[in-house]
Structure 1
Amino acid sequence: MPRFAANLSFLYQELPFLDRFDAAARDGFAGVECLFPYDVPASEVRARATTLGLSIVLINAPPGDWAAGARGLACVEGREGDFRESIERALAYATAVASPRVHVLAGLMPAGSDRDAAIARYEERLQWAADQAARAGIALMIEPINPHDMPGYLLQRQDEAHAIVERIGAVNLQVQMDLYHCARVEGDAVVQLRRYLPTGRVGHFQIAGVPDRHEPDEGTLDWRSALTAIDEIAAGTGWDGWIGCEYRPRRGAVPEGTSAGLGWIQTVPGGFG
């Protein structure tokens, strides 16, 4: 069964960031991921993960001014210099904490802007970033994100993401398939999973319940069929990635709120993997 990673930007939010590593390890996770860890020295993050025997499996590249509404720089006109700085910072941090993957957010398209021009910028910058990442031995992820959660986001569909990866042709550029976002946009995420995982272009999964983004066992996502499909395809292709648990615990950011909601993983054959 695929391995589960705790997303420490979503789970255990009642704890200071580094203490979330301890909580994830106590609950049985073998891997962790997070959005933007850059306020914490990489040496401290690496030391905590190493002490606990945790793999850091994914971080995001800096997205610009998140608090001011930025959601990535890769397609944004006039921000090429900032984009390159964000990639360089992300690769240095990922190398320091031994994360093999970096997710690069596409960015928002202002109303009325030229989509074709934005896609062209996006692909040109991704090509450059993939070249830099290859030298560092790191894989870059691009992720379709649904417009309900992130209005105006450039990349929303699986077919768009896979077409971009195919056109660029870099072996270390892959799709991060979030089953929550996929289901919000394209309906049956299991159908999409079975279509795209065998291509070899999916490098990472994430999961949450639909539509409220709580634990996967709440809502309409057919999460058991999704995990079964991943397991079956992985057995035939050798795919050995991770599934990031990127959801908001239904009990909220309260003591043991995350832990109390992990029963769904415990019903999966192999548990935490």
Structure 2
Amino acid sequence: MSSLKFCANISWLFTELPDFSQRIYAAASAGFQAVEAAWLYECDLKELQNARGATGVEVILINTPPGDVKSGDLGLGAVPGRETEFREGLDLALKYAKALECKRIHLMAGRIPLGSNRALVAKDMEAVFVQNLTYAADVLSKEGICGMIEPINTRVTDPRYFLDSPHQAAAILEKVGKPNIKLQMDIFHWQIMDGNLTQNIEKYFPIIGHVQIAQVPGRNEPDTAGELNYSYLFNTLKQHDYQGYIGCEYKPSGSTKEGLGWIKDYCSK
């Protein structure tokens, strides 16, 4: 079995530093060979390119723009009436991905509109999401980029998020039917919504394109106290011969660097 590879999510780690390009340098200094991030769009793209080039760190994943955050947006992929904005956001994400040689873009689904009943709007939102994902697949395939869809738990993190379980995501991916649109498994969200991680990893492994981690319930380092046995989960991924990076998308309990001992401890086992 090959060793697992970890990448730093610099939207969550190294936030002691205000600038994302500085965080790339910090991640490299801490031993990471790759980083991922949510939204880099307020950063100077040239500075990000310079940091990537100087460190040799790969950029593994970025998100599509969230939309109007002040108005409550968190992605637009499944939001009816926002298709043009979704395509504009995809173009911007693609610009950054190409400049940073990033091969994965998380295509954010978005939230149930305020005042709407989830059950009543679910069918329409799914249809919009399938349409947007199909469009994105064709655009991204020309650049050799994979699109990711990520279920986000609605019990704790975001009650209005449209895509909230691996089962829902898998059903949507089947309707899209494009090999370059895959499932992003954030173990934190999967545990909160469904648990049953061993069976869900087994069932959905063929369509998983990226993995992210955090302990439950605190969303801290994987070796902190919580519900999840990460030694077991990491070994499960190794047994399935997972070849991609595992994104460290957690809230450090203290300073980022002080909390990274778990990687060394795991790799020494």
TM-score band by shorter chain is over 0.9
> 1:8 corresponds to which residue?
10
Which has the higher mean CA deviation after the structures are superposed, 157-166 or 3-12? 157-166
Q: d(CA) in 1 for partners of 2:81 and 2:121?
A: 14
> 1:243 corresponds to which residue?
246
| Counterpart pick for 2:140 among 120, 133, 136 | 133
- Structure 2 gaps of 5+ residues are none
For normalisation by structure 2, the TM-score amounts to 0.93
- Give the AA of the match of 1:224: S
> 1:98 corresponds to which residue?
101
Runs of 4+ in 1 over 2 A off after TM superposition: 188-191
| Counterpart pick for 1:194 among 197, 202, 206 | 202
> 1:155 corresponds to which residue?
163
* Matched-pair contact (CA < 8 Å) for 1:43–1:97: no
> 1:223 corresponds to which residue?
230
Query: 1:115 deviation in Å?
Result: 0.8
Query: 1:270 deviation in Å?
Result: 6.0
Q: d(CA) in 1 for partners of 2:133 and 2:259?
A: 37
Task: Encode CA deviations 1:236-262: one digit per residue, 9 max, x unaligned.
Answer: xxx4211000000011xxxxx001111
Q: What SS class does the counterpart of residue 267 from structure 2 fall into?
A: coil
Q: What SS class does the counterpart of residue 156 from structure 1 fall into?
A: coil
* Matched-pair contact (CA < 8 Å) for 1:204–1:242: yes
> 2:64 corresponds to which residue?
61
Matches within 5 A, 1:74-89: 74-89=77-92
> 1:25 corresponds to which residue?
28
Equivalenced residue count is: 260
> 1:254 corresponds to which residue?
none
Q: d(CA) in 2 for partners of 1:68 and 1:223?
A: 37
Q: What SS class does the counterpart of residue 53 from structure 2 fall into?
A: helix
Q: d(CA) in 1 for partners of 2:209 and 2:268?
A: 21
Query: 1:191 deviation in Å?
Result: 2.9
Query: 1:162 deviation in Å?
Result: 1.3
Identity of aligned residues (%): 39
Q: d(CA) in 1 for partners of 2:178 and 2:74?
A: 24
Query: 1:23 deviation in Å?
Result: 1.2
Query: 1:42 deviation in Å?
Result: 2.1
- Structure 1 gaps of 5+ residues are 252-256
For normalisation by structure 1, the TM-score amounts to 0.92
* Matched-pair contact (CA < 8 Å) for 1:190–1:225: no
Indicate whether 1:50 and 2:53 are aligned: yes
Q: d(CA) in 2 for partners of 1:76 and 1:137?
A: 26
